[in-house]
Amino acid sequence: MQGIVVIKCGGSTMDQLPDSFFQAIAKLQQEGKQIVIVHGGGPAINSMLDRVQITPQFVDGLRVTCEDTLRVVEMILCGSINKLLVRRLTQAGAKAWGVSGIDGQTLVAQKTSKPLGWVGEITKADTAIPAAILEKGYVPVIAPLSVSDNGVDTYNVNADVAAGAIAAALSAEKLIMVTDVPGIMRPQADGTKEIVAQTSTEEIQAMIEAQIITGGMIPKVQAALDALGQGVNQVVICRGTAEDLLGVCTGETVGTTVRMNVNHAN
């Protein structure tokens, strides 16, 4: 399928997304762009974990997921956040259809060997359901839960990793990672932070080692590089504003563009 734009909506910025952001998605859809949304839900998950007295734990930006945490993750992502996004898109005039990676085995995973509990490593992203939803003229809104090959187990997957896998499977032309920062930020000598307009594999590695890139930005840049390696044309990390979203789609310099290496043609 051609002209697919995957938008990863960070849970970090969910509360701040203005109506105009969703209206921009509706506009792109009406212009014939095939939009797919994959969403996170970090803060909403943390707030529900707090209510049930579980302390959130992260290792390199990935959530440690015990059985009780998994139930909360599933409830918040497949329930509240997924339906909130469908409602907001509907209000903005877009047609939206919410599913999770479990539905139709869109995201098949196996349990990670890392000590993270019920976290999955994606082994297969199946495009049948998102493609069918696009075909019907709706925006698929995908919650990043995954399922084992035999359908028995549910796994939590970082939303950036899920978005990267779905963008790659759909051969998306763009993966836009919408988050609560304008892009990758780098501290300057004068103590201020500046946005990195373009970055590449080597520089990203150096920024992780120097602890300039930390926390949730680590899986984000890794998922960005993986998606580029699997044929996605362009990956941009930016804010959730209509200006940024439409700017990326019209080829303006917005946020941080991730490239595989400095000489790469992307």
Q: Which residues bind ligand ATP (CB under 6 A)?
A: 10-13, 40-42, 159-160, 179-181, 184-185, 212-217, 220
The CB-of-137 to Mg ion minimum distance in angstroms stands at: 30
- Residue closest to Mg ion (Cβ): 216
Stretch that binds Mg ion, among 13-21, 31-39, 114-122, 216-224 (CB under 5 A): 216-224
Distance CA 125, CA 107 (A): 5
Asked whether residue 239 is marked as a ligand-binding residue, the answer is no
Q: Which does 41 bind (CB under 5 to 8 A by kind): ligand ATP, Mg ion, none?
A: ligand ATP
* 195 touches, from Mg ion, ligand ATP, none (C-beta below 5 to 8 Å by class): none
Say if residues 182 and 239 touch (Cβ distance below 8 Å): yes
Specify the residue, 216 or 240, whose C-beta has the smaller distance to Mg ion.
Answer: 216
Most distant CA pair in the chain: distance in Å? 55
Q: Residue 3 annotated as binding?
A: no
In terms of CB distance, is 27 or 220 closer to Mg ion? 220
User: What are the C-alpha distances in Å from 173 to residues 115, 155, 189, 236?
Assistant: 34, 28, 36, 11
Q: How far is the C-alpha of 181 from the C-alpha of 178, rounded, in Å?
A: 8
Which window, 31-39, 145-153, 189-197, 213-221, contacts Mg ion (CB under 5 A)? Answer: 213-221
Amino acid (one-letter) located at 249: C
Shortest CB 73 distance to ligand ATP, Å: 11
Residue 25 and residue 89 in contact, taking contact as beta carbons nearer than 8 Å: yes
Return the closest-CA partner of residue 142 out of 204, 82, 199: 82
Residues placed in the known binding site for substrate: 41-42, 63, 156
